């Protein structure tokens, strides 16, 4: 019975020496005191995945590599433009926050749209 633990020793030793991925940095919190341009630049300066653009949607989508946070930056023609929104996983919920620089009614429409996506399930 002692042979099994000794056989595992080289594996355990190697795994202890293996490179560990550094913990991912916390996603940038939105600071609405910054201008739209400055905050857009700060958001996109992070290491993010950019979703492919859709010409029918006037938004740019970005997400953290771990998928725990995502950002939406409006382009001209979007409801509420200019606006930046963030969705972040908090426990078992997804919390939507944002900075409404433009039309508040359009921003509220965009916020409601993003919140509606939280309950969407593939059929």
pLDDT digits (tens, 9 = 90+) for 95-117: 999 999 999 999 999 999 888 88
pLDDT digits (tens, 9 = 90+) for 1-17: 444 444 444 444 444 55
Q: Is residue 102 part of a domain?
A: yes
* Gap between the Cα atoms of 61 and 72, Å rounded: 5
Total structural domains within the chain: 1
* Gap between the Cα atoms of 6 and 2, Å rounded: 7
Containing structural domain, residue 68: 27-117
* Gap between the Cα atoms of 71 and 86, Å rounded: 4
pTM confidence score: 0.77
Q: Is residue 74 part of a domain?
A: yes
ω into 82 cis (within 30 of 0)? yes
pLDDT digits (tens, 9 = 90+) for 59-98: 999 999 999 999 999 999 999 999 999 999 998 889 999 9
Q: Does 40 score more than 50 pLDDT? A: yes
Q: Is residue 16 part of a domain?
A: no
**Which residues on neighbouring strands pair with residue 88, listed in sequence order?**
69, 95
Mean of pLDDT values over 27-40: 97
């Amino acid at each position: 019975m002692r042979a099994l633990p000794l056989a595992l020793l080289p594996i355990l030793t190697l795994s202890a020496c293996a490179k560990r991925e550094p913990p991912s940095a916390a996603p940038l919190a939105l600071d609405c005191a910054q201008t739209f341009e400055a905050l857009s630049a700060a958001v996109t300066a992070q290491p993010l995945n950019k979703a492919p653009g859709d010409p029918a949607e006037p938004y740019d989508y970005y997400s953290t590599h771990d998928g725990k946070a995502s950002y939406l930056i409006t382009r001209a023609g979007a409801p509420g433009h200019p606006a930046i929104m963030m969705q972040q996983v908090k426990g078992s919920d997804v919390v939507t926050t944002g900075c409404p620089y433009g039309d508040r009614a359009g921003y509220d429409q965009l916020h409601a749209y993003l919140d509606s996506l939280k309950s969407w399930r593939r059929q």
